[in-house]
């Protein structure tokens, strides 16, 4: 009987492990739509305004399309989560330099602002909203385009 109860609890824990926290679901809804790049940095340096010109992000469900003159257009998927009270976001590009590799990140959504910082593939998840020289990390701040 005790073994059956332990197995039932273990199976229940497995099913519950994939249920995202409630605020992740509200963030997923808040992120839908069109975003314009307002600022950013990479490797501890602010991105020049000219490099951010026409930066655009479109999120539809768990899919995104990112376009920037200096990079081109990239599409991929994102997964929102939470780890030890920190909101996490993992992206996988379908093309470009990081094709089919996952980049780990953290994010926050406040009103019409979406801030995110990522590490390159294979590197640990960032732990703060800034980048440091030589880290390969990049941060973007996006403004939501209202209908």
CATH for 95: 2.40.128
82 in a structural domain: yes
Cβ pair 119, 43 in contact under 8 A: no
Quickly count: other Cβ atoms within 10 Å of residue 64's Cβ. 18
The total of structural domains in the chain comes to 1
2 in a structural domain: no
Domain limits for position 38: 19-144
Task: Return the pLDDT at 9.
Answer: 37
Please give the structure tokens belonging to residue 127: 């732990």
**CB-based burial label for 34 (10 Å; 0-12, 13-18, 19+):** middle
Please give the structure tokens belonging to residue 141: 């701040």
Enclosing H/E stretch for 24: helix 22-30
3 in a structural domain: no
4 in a structural domain: no
9 in a structural domain: no
Task: Return the pLDDT at 20.
Answer: 47
Q: How far is CA 141 from CA 6, 7, 115, in A?
A: 46, 45, 4
Task: Return the pLDDT at 65.
Answer: 97
50 in a structural domain: yes
Task: Return the pLDDT at 96.
Answer: 87
The parts of the chain modelled with pLDDT lower than 70 are 1-22, 147
Q: How far apart are CA 95 and CA 73, in angstroms?
A: 9
Kindly report the pTM of this predicted structure: 0.81
122 in a structural domain: yes
11 in a structural domain: no
């Amino acid at each position: 009987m005790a073994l059956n109860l332990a197995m039932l609890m273990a199976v229940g824990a497995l099913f519950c492990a994939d249920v995202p926290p409630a605020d992740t679901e509200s963030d997923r809804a808040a992120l839908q739509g069109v975003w314009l790049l307002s600022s950013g940095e990479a490797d501890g340096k602010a991105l020049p305004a000219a490099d951010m010109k026409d930066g655009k992000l479109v999120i539809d469900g768990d899919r995104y399309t990112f376009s920037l003159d200096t990079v081109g257009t990239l599409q991929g998927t994102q997964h929102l989560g939470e780890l030890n009270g920190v909101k996490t976001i993992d992206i996988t590009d379908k093309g470009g330099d990081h094709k089919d590799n996952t980049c780990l990140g953290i994010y926050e959504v406040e009103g019409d602002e979406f801030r995110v910082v990522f590490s390159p593939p294979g590197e640990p998840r960032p732990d703060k909203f800034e980048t440091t020289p030589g880290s390969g990390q990049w941060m973007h701040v996006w403004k939501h385009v209202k209908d």
